[in-house]
Structure 1
Amino acid sequence: MVRDHVHEYRATIDWSGGAAGPVRDYRSYSREYRVAMDGKPDFRASADPHFRGDPALYNPEDMLLISLSACHMLSYLALCARANVEVRGYRDEAEGTMRMLDGALRFADVLLRPRVTVAPGTDHDKAKALHGDAHHLCFIANSVNFPVRNDPEIVEG
């Protein structure tokens, strides 16, 4: 919903792990849950395997990294469209690092490594510079309290 530049989102998180039994101790309960949003397919998720989650399911840490990468990509593509930079491919091999900081486990850093394929004859400096602008536009990166860096590569194809 959009009102005066206010964007609202709603999600329902339903702990589906209860079918495997109640929470009685840290080792035995299921970490699986279901995510639902109106008009979109539901999906199953879990905790990170380090926290006894199912490694076959997405976890909150995965989704944060995906959100940062996707937001940067979408911001970048919009800027390229406005700047007449023809993008033919985009692939990001993003990495995030969590560690203990100030007594709490938290993300310390995310590195986005977009490899952007542009049309032959494209100004590579211009295409690369738009990543800086995309970083400043990315509202997910603007919402986190750790560095989100990017190391783009521009290739023709």
Structure 2
Amino acid sequence: MAEHIYDVDVTWSGNNAEYRSYSRNHEVTADKKPPIPGSADPIIGRGDVTRWNPEQLLVASLAQCHMLWYLHMCVEAGVVVTDYRDHATGIMNNQKFLLVVLRPEVTVTDASMRAAAKQAHAEAAKRCFIANSMNFPVEHEPTIVVAQQDPS
């Protein structure tokens, strides 16, 4: 497999000459993409609650990777997904992630697709390279919902 390289820039300019009150705000950028406003977790590092912190971005990366592989696996299995939402949670203790739980709720077009839709989560979990790179468990608690059929 070919090697892939991902370049990201993190820019900070919040020096106000005092260690404890320096700004934790920064921007994460990459070529041709909108900037991500970043900061520290307010609870851990006096950050800005209105900006993304690295811990949230890690959980988001895991959820995105799973979703993208899941949708790919559904296409291959003939499962028609009309909606996908995930409420992912990361748990940290002693400055280390212990666990991330993904809770995707997926809507499919037909009840006959439920089993294949559930199996696609297992396949996506095997393929998500970000989850496979972690040194903590990434668990999955999927829910499969069938879209409302038009009675007419």
- Number of residue-to-residue matches in the alignment: 146
Taking only aligned residues, the RMSD between alpha carbons, in angstroms, comes to 1.1
Partner of 1:127: 117
Kindly report structure 1 stretches of 4+ aligned residues shifted beyond 4 Å: none
TM-score by length of 1: 0.89
Runs of at least 5 residues in structure 1 that lack an aligned partner in the other structure: none
Partner of 2:4: 7
Match of 1:52 among 35, 46, 52: 46
SS of the aligned residue for 1:39 comes to coil
Q: Identity over the aligned pairs, expressed in percent?
A: 47
1:99 aligns with 2:93: yes
Runs of at least 5 residues in structure 2 that lack an aligned partner in the other structure: 148-152
Q: CA deviation at 1:55?
A: 0.4
TM-score by length of 2: 0.92
Partner of 2:13: 16
Q: CA deviation at 1:116?
A: 0.4
Matches of 1:147 and 1:121, distance apart in 2: 30
1:82 aligns with 2:79: no
Greater per-residue strand proportion:
1
Matches of 2:110 and 2:79, distance apart in 1: 11
Contact 1:112/1:148 (8 A) holds in 2: yes
